[in-house]
Amino acid sequence: MKRTLVDLAENDLAQLDGLAADWHTSRASVLRDAVAEYLVKRERVPTSPPKPLEGFGALKGCFEDGQAYQDNLRSEWE
């Protein structure tokens, strides 16, 4: 097992110490459990979330001009 240093806000550290005391375990154990749970949840989330307009413009150039399309449809009426 490796050691690491983590900077935490005072109120987060106080809550962490409270959890450790309630569960009769060490602060490090609570942090290990939290990291393990985070990593499991992270596996279910895509690594790069989809862009809001990912499909915008994807069909550009696949169809004729809109006005030409309308004209073509209206030519059938004559």
Per the domain annotation, does 1 fall within a domain? no
pLDDT of residue 53: 62
pLDDT at 63: 73
In a domain, 38, yes or no: yes
- pLDDT confidence of residue 43: 78
Domain that holds residue 45: 10-75
pTM of this prediction? 0.53
Q: What is the mean pLDDT of each run of 10 residues along the chain (78 residues)?
A: 91 94 94 90 70 67 80 85
Q: Which two tokens stand for residue 24?
A: 């009769």
> What pLDDT is stored for residue 76 in this prediction?
85
29 within some domain: yes
Q: Which of 13, 9, 11 is nearest to 28 (CA)?
A: 13
Distance CA 9, CA 15 (A): 10
Residue 24 placed within a domain: yes
